[in-house]
């Protein structure tokens, strides 16, 4: 079970390696009747493309998406939507060192241990390019959520020591700054820090955050399929993520209950929480408030400093990684987090439709 499917009702299956012929995704369970065109998906894919800035690699990838099935006369048919992105810019180069050595921080060693060998070209299936399929599918989930009044938005919270100041939250900056920060001042400071990092032939980690607005209360299930549990899995499944927080996250472990509990109140006839330490989820079920998730991302493991490692013959050796690598993963991973969150939330909403007898009766006896 290679684990390339995600979701229960809105289910996606991704495929493809960094330097194979193509990458893609099959979306099974997309509702029929959704207006869909390639340009919408392309906008999401373009957000994970490397830019011209210091925050991203200079490798050029066109990543043009093609819809192969499941859309007829501009609308989804309810049958599987197959999306493909051809690999066009993979330059044939010398992979002999990666083939023979285990790069620190990469999955080379663990793939070899699991499968007996690996596609060593650019990391194969363990490459960040694997997320092309996730983002293409997530773009569709986002469009459906929008029509349901649910908005998902991810951004860079910090890069190394530089943190965005959310009191200056500027949504437009997320798409227009090279760091995907919602704060232009922090973006400038982070870009400077990245320049230094590159000069030091090193890399750095960062933190990304995703918020979901407009989600009705009652979404998610008790026990194992808690909405926060599924979001944790969704976000931790993104390569390089090492921690996930919901709402206030880690700091709650040193708080008192009287500080951390969110009281309920009534505003304009609606029941609301008077604070949101919980991040919009109580007992695994959405409470109608903003969902808040954070992911901590490790530094890009490919650095230009000489590193000590072991080769496939089991001998210690030094390795010098070549090629072009982002000094930080976060700015391009933000859209992946947004998409994984959207896929998770939409699936939970679709599953939720049969939670009550009155829903079934309304649906079938009308």
Contact 343, 355 (CB under 8 A): no
Nearest alpha carbon to residue 38 among 92, 76, 90? 76
Binding segment (CB under 8 A) for a copy of itself, from list 37-45, 52-60, 176-184, 308-316: 308-316
SS3 195: helix
Spatial distance between the Cα atoms of 158 and 166, rounded to a whole number of angstroms: 11
**For the chain, how long is the longest CA-to-CA vector?**
71
| 217 lies in the binding site for a copy of itself (CB under 8 A) | yes
Report 135-174 residues binding a copy of itself (CB under 8 A). 144, 147-149, 158, 160-161
Strand partners, 22: 86
| 64 lies in the binding site for a copy of itself (CB under 8 A) | no
Beta carbon nearer to a copy of itself, 43 or 251: 251
| 324 lies in the binding site for a copy of itself (CB under 8 A) | no
| 268 lies in the binding site for a copy of itself (CB under 8 A) | no
Q: Which residue from 152, 207, 210, 211 is in contact with a copy of itself, where contact means CB under 8 A?
A: 207
Contact 31, 142 (CB under 8 A): no
Contact 111, 124 (CB under 8 A): yes
| 349 lies in the binding site for a copy of itself (CB under 8 A) | yes
| 6 lies in the binding site for a copy of itself (CB under 8 A) | yes
Burial of 254 (0-12, 13-18, 19+ CB in 10 A): exposed
| 322 lies in the binding site for a copy of itself (CB under 8 A) | no
User: What is each CA distance from 81 to 26, 40, 75, 141, in whole angstroms?
Assistant: 6, 14, 11, 12
| 300 lies in the binding site for a copy of itself (CB under 8 A) | yes
Binding segment (CB under 8 A) for a copy of itself, from list 41-49, 88-96, 182-190, 249-257: 249-257
Binding segment (CB under 8 A) for a copy of itself, from list 17-25, 54-62, 169-177, 179-187: 17-25
Q: Which residue from 247, 331, 334, 339 is in contact with a copy of itself, where contact means CB under 8 A?
A: 247
Contact 333, 208 (CB under 8 A): yes
Q: Which residue from 39, 91, 172, 266 is in contact with a copy of itself, where contact means CB under 8 A?
A: 266
Beta carbon nearer to a copy of itself, 45 or 208: 208
Beta carbon nearer to a copy of itself, 226 or 332: 226
| 224 lies in the binding site for a copy of itself (CB under 8 A) | yes
Find all residues with CB under 8 Å of 96, minimum gap 6, and list them.
none
């Amino acid at each position: 079970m290679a684990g390339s499917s995600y979701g229960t009702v809105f289910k996606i299956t991704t495929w493809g390696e960094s330097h194979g012929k193509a990458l893609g995704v099959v979306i099974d369970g997309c509702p029929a009747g959704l207006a869909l065109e390639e340009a919408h998906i392309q906008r999401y894919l373009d957000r994970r493309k490397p830019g011209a800035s210091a925050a991203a690699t200079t490798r050029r990838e066109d990543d043009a998406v093609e819809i192969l099935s499941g859309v007829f006369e501009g609308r989804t048919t309810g049958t599987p939507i197959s999306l493909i992105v051809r690999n066009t810019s993979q330059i044939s180069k010398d992979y002999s060192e990666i083939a023979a050595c285990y790069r620190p921080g990469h999955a080379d060693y663990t793939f070899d241990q699991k499968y007996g060998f690996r596609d060593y070209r650019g990391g194969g299936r363990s490459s960040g390019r694997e997320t092309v399929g996730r983002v293409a599918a997530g773009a569709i989930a986002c469009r459906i959520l929008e029509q349901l009044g649910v908005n998902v938005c991810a951004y860079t919270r910090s890069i190394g020591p530089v943190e965005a100041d959310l009191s200056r939250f500027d949504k437009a900056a997320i798409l227009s700054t090279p760091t995907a920060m919602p704060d232009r001042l922090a973006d400038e400071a982070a870009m400077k820090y990245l320049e230094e990092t590159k000069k030091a032939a090193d890399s750095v980690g960062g933190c990304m955050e995703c918020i979901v607005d407009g989600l009705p209360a009652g979404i998610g299930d008790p026990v194992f399929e808690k909405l926060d549990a599924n979001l944790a899995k969704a976000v931790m499944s993104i390569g390089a993520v090492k921690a996930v927080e919901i709402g206030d996250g880690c700091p709650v472990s040193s708080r008192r209950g009287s500080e951390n509990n969110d009281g309920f109140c009534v505003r304009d006839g609606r029941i609301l929480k008077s604070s949101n330490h919980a991040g919009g989820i109580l007992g695994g079920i959405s409470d109608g408030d903003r969902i808040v998730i954070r992911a901590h991302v490790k530094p890009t493991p490919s650095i230009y400093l000489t590193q000590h490692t072991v080769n496939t013959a089991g001998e210690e050796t030094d390795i010098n990684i070549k090629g072009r690598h982002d000094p930080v993963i976060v700015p391009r991973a933000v859209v992946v987090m947004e998409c994984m969150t959207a896929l998770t939330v939409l699936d939970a909403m679709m599953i939720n439709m049969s939670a009550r007898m009155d829903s079934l009766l309304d649906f079938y006896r009308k």
